């Protein structure tokens, strides 16, 4: 059977219930501040046919890394499920900003002034004002995107005052192979200093730790959809 048939929907609902149950247990156990933590189902590399059972099962917040892949997959799905909220969670090139503004509902990867300016212009042109997150290179890794930690608070202010973006939160991807908790704690501290209320951190292997540190969004892919 294909994933569009009932057994695919059952598998999707089972996976969603398992992850959301763990999220709620973590929030209750650690007394995390947010009343509710949002699950971003990371559907990158999975086809529309593989994603749709999760839509049928009730999931409405999804994350994609690449504009082109999302453009190929989501317009048809969003036409059938218009209450979907689609987050761009991967690096964004300025020449893809127009398409990103047209397709996505939230941009989580604002990481430089040039991009902030282009996004602001494209939002004005399209008559859309999307909530944005600033991506922080929390581990100072050369191979990863994100604004440096020591520039993050000033960059948030600049995005708001100079570019007119609606910055609602911070996002990060901690280094691999080391405990994530100190990095998540640091992002939460930065968010407080920057005056933003949303914190996007934590993935399939560490989302419970992220919730303990105050995450308001966790980005979970393989634990829902399976291995890529």
Strands, E assignment, 94-144:
106-110, 131-137
Mode of pairing for the β-strands spanning 166-172 and 147-148: unpaired
Residues of the chain with pLDDT under 70: 1-5, 32-34
Q: Counting beta carbons within 10 angstroms of the beta carbon of residue 195, is it exposed (0 to 12), middle (13 to 18) or buried (19 or more)?
A: exposed
- 86-119 tens-digit pLDDT: 999 999 999 999 999 999 999 999 999 999 999 9
Q: Which residue has the tokens 């608070």?
A: 153
Give the model's pLDDT for residue 1: 35
Q: From CA 114, how far away is CA 158, in angstroms rounded?
A: 12
Residue 70 CA to residue 48 CA, distance in Å, equals: 10
For residue 2, the model assigns a pLDDT of 45
């Amino acid at each position: 059977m294909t994933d569009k048939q009932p057994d695919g929907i059952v598998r999707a609902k089972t996976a969603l219930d398992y992850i959301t149950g763990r999220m709620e247990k973590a929030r209750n156990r650690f007394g995390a501040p947010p009343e509710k933590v949002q699950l971003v189902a990371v559907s990158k590399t999975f086809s529309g046919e593989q994603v749709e059972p999760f839509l049928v099962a009730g999931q409405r917040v999804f994350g994609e890394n690449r504009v082109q892949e999302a453009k190929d997959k989501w317009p048809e799905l969003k036409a059938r499920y218009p209450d979907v909220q689609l987050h761009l969670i991967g690096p964004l090139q300025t020449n893809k900003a127009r398409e990103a503004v047209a397709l996505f509902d939230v941009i989580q990867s604002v990481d430089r002034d040039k991009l902030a300016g282009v996004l602001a212009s494209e939002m004005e042109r399209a008559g859309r004002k999307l909530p944005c997150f600033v991506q922080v290179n929390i581990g100072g890794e050369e191979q990863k995107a994100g604004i440096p930690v020591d520039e993050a608070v000033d960059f948030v202010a600049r995005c708001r005052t100079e570019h007119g973006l609606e910055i609602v939160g911070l996002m990060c991807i901690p280094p691999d192979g080391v405990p994530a908790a100190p990095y998540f704690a640091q992002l939460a501290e930065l968010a407080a200093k920057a005056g933003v209320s949303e914190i996007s951190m934590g993935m399939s292997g560490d989302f419970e730790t992220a919730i303990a540190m105050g995450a308001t969004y966790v980005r979970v892919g393989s634990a829902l959809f399976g291995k890529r």
